[in-house]
Amino acid sequence: MDTVLRAAAVYLVLLLLFRIAGRRSLYQITTFDLVLLLVIGEATQPALLGDDLSVTTAVIAITTLLTLDVTFSLLKRDVPFADRLLDGRPTLLVLHGQPLHREMRMARIDLADVMQAARERQGIIRVEDVGMAVLEVGGAISVIPREQATSALRA
């Protein structure tokens, strides 16, 4: 039972910390992010397993973590408030060619990130041509060209 409680506590703490860290850290993993995740994995191992390094304890910890993950995914599916709490909501970053600096600052996204997504996804090279740019809950930046956004808002 100790292993289950340890695993649940570590899972919840990591979930909270990654939620606080924001969606920015989820989308484009850099070398720094990979190293950080590896170090976090190594640092959490003693908390998960304690002094018992047996295969049974590892299986119990992994089963607990996967059970929590499935439970939260079912909760997010069935309870709208849980979905917003655990994953957040999409964040509007640019509207009608105007960067929304406050939202960008809170999401730790700069205009260069938005424009990179605009170039990659839509071939847009000027911010004035961006109708809407949205930071999705998964960390991706969706970009809608200005003419498409304008016509969609009229409809």
What does the pLDDT read at residue 61? Answer: 83
CATH number of domain containing 95: 3.30.240.20
- Claim to verify: residue 12 and residue 72 sit in the same structural domain: yes
pLDDT averages per 10-residue partition of the chain, 155 residues: 84 80 61 75 78 79 85 86 82 95 91 93 93 89 84 60
What pairing do the DSSP bridges indicate for beta strands 91-95 and 98-99?
antiparallel
Which of 54, 87, 120 is the last residue before a domain boundary? Answer: 87
Domain containing 15 equals: 2-87
C-alpha closest to that of 132 among 6, 44, 46, 121: 121
Q: Are residues 13 and 76 in the same domain?
A: yes
Number of domains observed in the structure of the chain: 2
Last residue of a domain, one of 28, 63, 87: 87
Check whether residue 73 and residue 118 sit in a common domain. no
Q: What is the pLDDT of residue 15?
A: 81
| Residues 75 and 44 both lie in one domain | yes
Helix (H) or strand (E) holding 107: helix 101-107
Same domain, 8 and 76: yes
Residue 109 shares a structural domain with residue 34: no
Where residue 145 falls (left for φ over 0; alpha for ψ -120 to 50; beta otherwise) is beta
Q: Are 7 and 82 in the same domain?
A: yes
Considering the domain architecture, whether residues 71 and 141 belong to the same structural domain is answered as no
Residue 123 phi/psi, 5° resolution?
A: 70, 20
The C-alpha atoms of residue 89 and residue 101 are separated, in whole angstroms, by 17
- Distance from C-alpha of 120 to C-alpha of 125, rounded to nearest angstrom: 10
Are 39 and 72 found together in one domain?
A: yes
Domain stop point among 70, 87, 104: 87
What pLDDT shows up at residue 116?
Answer: 92
Q: Tell me the CB-side half-sphere exposure of residue 33, using CA atoms within 13 A.
A: 11
pLDDT at residue 29, rounded to an integer: 66
108 sits in the region (left: phi over 0; alpha: psi -120 to 50; else beta) called left
Residue 94 is predicted with a pLDDT of: 96
Tell whether 136 and 73 lie within a shared domain. Answer: no
Does 28 share its domain with 82? yes
